[in-house]
Amino acid sequence: MKRSLAVGAALAAALAWGATRADVPSEVPGVAPAPPLSPHWVFLTDAAFFHLTEGKIVVVDGDQGKVVAKLSTGYLANSLISPDGKRLYVAETFWSRGTRGERTDVVTVYDMTTFLPVAEVRLPGRFLAVTQPYNMGLSADGRFLFLFNMTPATSVVVVDIEAGTVVGEISTPGCALVLPGKDKFVMPCGDGTFLQVTLDAAGRETSRGRTPKPVFDVDADPVSERPATTGTGYAFTTYGGMVHEVNLSGGDPVYAAPWSLTSAEEAAAGWRPGGWEQVAYSPHTNELFVSMHQGGPGTHELPGPEIWVYSLADKKKVRVIKPVEPVISIAVSRDDKPIVAAITETLALSVMDAASGAETVNLPGLLELGLVLETP
Amino acid sequence: MKRSLAVGAALAAALAWGATRADVPSEVPGVAPAPPLSPHWVFLTDAAFFHLTEGKIVVVDGDQGKVVAKLSTGYLANSLISPDGKRLYVAETFWSRGTRGERTDVVTVYDMTTFLPVAEVRLPGRFLAVTQPYNMGLSADGRFLFLFNMTPATSVVVVDIEAGTVVGEISTPGCALVLPGKDKFVMPCGDGTFLQVTLDAAGRETSRGRTPKPVFDVDADPVSERPATTGTGYAFTTYGGMVHEVNLSGGDPVYAAPWSLTSAEEAAAGWRPGGWEQVAYSPHTNELFVSMHQGGPGTHELPGPEIWVYSLADKKKVRVIKPVEPVISIAVSRDDKPIVAAITETLALSVMDAASGAETVNLPGLLELGLVLETP
Amino acid sequence: MSLIDGWFEKSARGVARRVSRRSAMARLGQFLVGAALVPVLPIDRAPRAETAADPGDPTQCDYWRYCGFDGFLCTCCGGSVSHCPPGTSVSNVTWIGTCLNPADNKNYIISYNDCCGQGSCGLCLCNTNQGETPVYRPQLNNDIVWCFGATNMSYHCTIGAVLGTA
Amino acid sequence: MSLIDGWFEKSARGVARRVSRRSAMARLGQFLVGAALVPVLPIDRAPRAETAADPGDPTQCDYWRYCGFDGFLCTCCGGSVSHCPPGTSVSNVTWIGTCLNPADNKNYIISYNDCCGQGSCGLCLCNTNQGETPVYRPQLNNDIVWCFGATNMSYHCTIGAVLGTA
């Protein structure tokens, strides 16, 4: 250590002399602040299938095509951005010795101006599965975080993220995932019904109910577990190509009659939705974007060579986007100049103009198993 | 859970009926025991440069070309096999939250019959660098584990691995790595001298000394920090192609006069050692194996398209092995039918007959940054 | 029983397809049956050898027992077709499939047990999605880490043990 | 002083070479100087923009300041050439190099600070070994994780800030 101090002093002397004739000014190394959140930022959650205990969240500026930050996560993390854009919530799992030892489940709260963790809430458990968005949800006011759990008994953990406390764990036998609405959440169940759980202002269950009969036929044509979040609730695609919309904007949830993504001819040609996050919604245009491919039963995760765009008002296809290569997951920004962000089958991030479909950014090599896309 | 139990019972009934006519007998799933340790097993430590917190030790049967087991490790792990072949010692570092939080440094003791951890010793610290073998050493009797540490002040941590306790930390300013001998260890130092530290039966320092003058010229031709372990001590290669042998079999270390790996013609043609573990030793044939390439200053880590084999008794080249592709690291088994195991520049494991040089096994795709090879 | 019939019917999947490493649809998972209930049956505890009755290469994804497989083949990772690699722990909460043995043209019930407690093996990824259902019907979902019965939930690889004929 | 002269001489490395991803010689590391002693000098705190005085693309390994670089370029990871990405911490125990600026043909002293506290960035690996010495001479060794001055020792990427002319 003595040596390094001596060196430092000598260096400072050398620099003081050198600085007088420098063309490039001296710089003080530091840490860059995060740029202000843009509606065109894309958050990619990479489960890193070959190193599951060191996952990543890659934040990309979808306009500039540049990495904003890369955050390491624990095992099979989920993340959500707070409604005010000031916080990033990451649910993650660690073991005290990497892949063994004591298990710890937490929600880590990041400050979006520094991307540093500022708080942590310990969880009683969380669902461990290939990362998908509806493992975790946030109440509309941003106060409660809901985390699906499976042990394999199923439940929802309610966290008061403002207070930093776990409110409780709500048993939800036979039902999975968590889709928040106003003062409640709903969950699809194994028999095709939906469970709804209503909460009070403290996040505690006040009542629950199941739809009196199945909303969809779980054997013939199940809904995908990764719907789009629409202006009023959720739009689920089915394996076969129907859309089930759930309206959670009022009191009791309203389950609309399903409509078809395909004409009889298109269906006969095998067109159906596929991929991971296969459907996304643009609030600005009230359009639904669906990753479509031609295939049969069991192809519900095949990447889509086309993205079909529907007017949600008319339930009609309005245009087709042809991405540069088939897409696994898609997300659409919520602003008035929407972009489509897609993870392609080669795990590149492709950003397209939502209106024209023209690709504006293509970033290969970012991801190992980047399955989940979010925009603020 | 009720459902699964009901299913299980029904299934058992179905199976009891089915089993009466089965051609393939039923099996009870379980965990395989490890096969008995072979001198041709190869232990590869993979630092996983793109996911440093989840490294791996890959154990391969060098005869069959099959994976025996893959063990996950913490950050930049080192490993050693106990002299009796019954234990594997892994020095590793964890943080409580993956890449952040509280740091814990440990030696984990694995039972080689199960590859399960059976004990752990907490360390006061350890050296974090691209994995290399002489970060850690074991006394000849297998009782003391020595771990180099840098904070950046340098020291050696002594662990009584049988008792599971840290004996102490020995300050070693200006010197690095740890090369155990009988009742002592030596370390190369930044001025070209060697430090020797003598220990008592309890692993405590009793005396120390430095060679009165430099053993090698640290500016003109430094020794690589990854020598071969020979029958009597260590054989270091230098960047330029000399060999420095250190004999630790007697009382005080003996530093032999260096000899050259290359003739004047070979040196003029640029032949010199390179790679990571660039030199290995066969006790059975008393031969030194060196990864050689043609290059100039700064190429000391270039993979070797040839492996030159030397008689250590005569200090003469006796043959040349031409691996299927240039090699980064080599190890030679200690038995009487020696194999050469090599990590190639494409990160394949290549196993060759040490006498003929013929490749017997080639396993691509095993490694991400597999730098360190060991044989029992 | 109708539930079981439904499963078995759904899980008769024909030929498994091999998935490239770069496939983003790489999956974990299995689903559940109480394997602990089975040991009343006659059991072969010896390691499997290829026989006329059990043809094929268990280190390849097209081996007949892997018709409903999802994950890394333990046979590439130090395990056997019925035993987890040393250093791991076997989950007894498993997913099962029904696979046709080409040697005797019979359907066998295969238990796909996850081996857990180490990070991903990373070798011999093998994956099918025929008959998979969303996570709200977990018995047929293969995205879930089915390590519930193991010492911990860190997924390493998956085996395919014969439970009996279907 | 002779030690410093020796360093600077050794670290005048000419053109950096780019290393492919698959290169097993992928390296971390830096070496040490007390960067905290430097701020007596006139400082530009604005983000760097390409100028006639500072030519080239800092997201490429052949940018002039990276003549002695080893690791992932922070400019690909959300940082700048002189600032670590958000979410990391900068180590002030660093390695330095002397690089020739082609615009003014002067040698500049470059501070290579590791950015730490996240896992490997994994993008834009850039590496040279000219002048590297073994770890027993750590000032010139680039295998060491030089995060000693950061909040923790988990390596993410490396910056290259101008300290002044040599």
Active site (annotated) includes residue C104: no
Q: What is the pLDDT of residue C50?
A: 63
Residue A113 has pLDDT above 50, yes or no: yes
- Phi/psi of residue C21, each to 5°? -55, -40
- How many residues belong to chain C? 166
Q: Which residue has the higher pLDDT, C47 or B211?
A: B211
pLDDT band, residue C41 (cuts 50/70/90)? very low
What is the rounded CA–CA span in Å between residue A231 and residue D147?
Answer: 47
**D and B adjacent (3 or more CB pairs under 8 angstroms):** yes
CA atoms within 13 A on the CB side of B268: 3
Q: Which residue of A has its CA nearest to B71?
A: A99
Q: Cβ distance D126 to D19 under 8 Å?
A: yes
Condensed to tens digits (0 to 9), the pLDDT of residues B128-145 reads 998 889 999 999 999 999
Quick one: average pLDDT of A58-79?
96
pLDDT band, residue B367 (cuts 50/70/90)? confident
Residue D22 has pLDDT above 50, yes or no: no
Residues 6+ apart with CB under 8 A from B201: none
Query: Where are the alpha helices (H) located in chain D, listed in sequence order?
Result: 2-10
Q: Which of C148, C156, C93, C166 is nearest to C122 (CA)?
A: C156
User: Six-digit token pair at A10?
Assistant: 């000598």
Tell me which amino acid residue D24 is.
A
Active site (annotated) includes residue C57: no
Chains A, D: CB contacts within 8 A come to 170
Q: Which of C16, B189, A159, B85 is nearest to D134 (CA)?
A: B189
What is the rounded CA–CA span in Å between residue C37 and residue C42?
Answer: 13
Q: Cβ distance B179 to B187 under 8 Å?
A: yes
DSSP assignments along B49-60, one per residue? TTSTTSEEEEEE
Q: Position of tokens 């890193």?
A: A48
Condensed to tens digits (0 to 9), the pLDDT of residues B228-278 reads 999 999 999 999 999 999 999 988 999 999 999 999 999 999 999 999 999
β-sheet with A66-73: strand ranges across: A66-73, A55-61, A41-46, A370-374
The C-alpha torsion from C82 through C88 and C89 to C92, rounded to 10°, is -40
Tell me which amino acid residue B68 is.
V
User: Six-digit token pair at A276?
Assistant: 């991971």
Condensed to tens digits (0 to 9), the pLDDT of residues C96-148 reads 788 999 999 999 999 899 999 999 999 999 986 666 788 898 877 878 899 99
Mean of the per-residue pLDDT values of chain B: 92
For the stretch B347-355, contacts whose Cβ atoms lie closer than 8 Å and that sit 24 or more positions apart, written own/partner, are B347/D22, B347/D24, B349/B42, B349/B44, B349/B60, B350/B323, B350/B324, B350/B325, B351/B40, B351/B42, B351/B62, B351/B65, B352/B321, B352/B323, B354/B282, B354/B285, B354/B287, B354/B289, B354/B309, B355/B285
β-sheet with C155-158: strand ranges across: C89-90, C114-116, C155-158
Q: What is the pLDDT of residue A195?
A: 98
pLDDT band, residue A333 (cuts 50/70/90)? very high
Which of C136, C148, C154 lies at the smallest CB-CB distance from A225? C136
**Model-wide pTM > 0.90:** no
Quick one: average pLDDT of A315-330?
97
Q: Which residue has the higher pLDDT, B45 or C5?
A: B45
Residue B99 has pLDDT above 60, yes or no: yes
User: Six-digit token pair at A308?
Assistant: 């079909």
Condensed to tens digits (0 to 9), the pLDDT of residues B246-259 reads 999 988 999 999 99
User: Does residue B254 sit in helix, strand or coil?
Assistant: strand
Residue A374 has pLDDT above 90, yes or no: no
Q: Which of A292, A275, A276, A280 is nearest to A341 (CA)?
A: A280
Mean of the per-residue pLDDT values of chain A: 92
pLDDT band, residue B13 (cuts 50/70/90)? very low
Condensed to tens digits (0 to 9), the pLDDT of residues B209-220 reads 999 999 999 999
Chain B contact partners (≥3 CB pairs within 8 A): A, C, D
Q: Which residue has the higher pLDDT, C41 or A338?
A: A338
Task: Note whether D84 contacts A67, CB cutoff 8 Å.
Answer: no
Quick one: average pLDDT of B344-349?
94
**For strand C83-84 and strand B30-31, is the pairing parallel, antiparallel, or unpaired?**
parallel
* Sign, CA torsion D154/D158/D161/D166: positive
Cβ neighbours, 10 Å, residue B269 = 11
Residue D132 has pLDDT above 80, yes or no: no
Residue C32 has pLDDT above 50, yes or no: no
Condensed to tens digits (0 to 9), the pLDDT of residues B298-333 reads 899 899 999 999 999 999 999 999 999 999 999 999
Q: Chain B within 8 Å of A153 (Cβ-Cβ)?
A: yes
Residue D1 has pLDDT above 80, yes or no: no
DSSP assignments along D63-93, one per residue? SGGGGG-EEEBGGGTT--SSEEPTT-EE-SB
Catalytic-role residue among C57, C95, C143, C146: C95
Residue D11 C-alpha from the chain's centroid = 12
Q: State the smallest CA–CA distance between residue A95 and chain C in angstroms.
A: 9
Q: State the smallest CA–CA distance between residue A20 and chain B in angstroms.
A: 33
For the stretch B175-178, contacts whose Cβ atoms lie closer than 8 Å and that sit 24 or more positions apart, written own/partner, are B175/D136, B176/B148, B176/B150, B176/B225, B176/D134, B176/D135, B176/D136, B176/D138, B177/B132, B177/B134, B177/B135, B177/B148, B177/B225, B177/D135, B177/D136, B178/B134, B178/B135, B178/B136, B178/B137, B178/B146, B178/B147, B178/B148
Q: What is the pLDDT of residue B19?
A: 44
Cβ neighbours, 10 Å, residue A103 = 15
ipTM of the complex: 0.88
CB proximity under 8 Å: A 158-197 to C: 174-177, 187-190
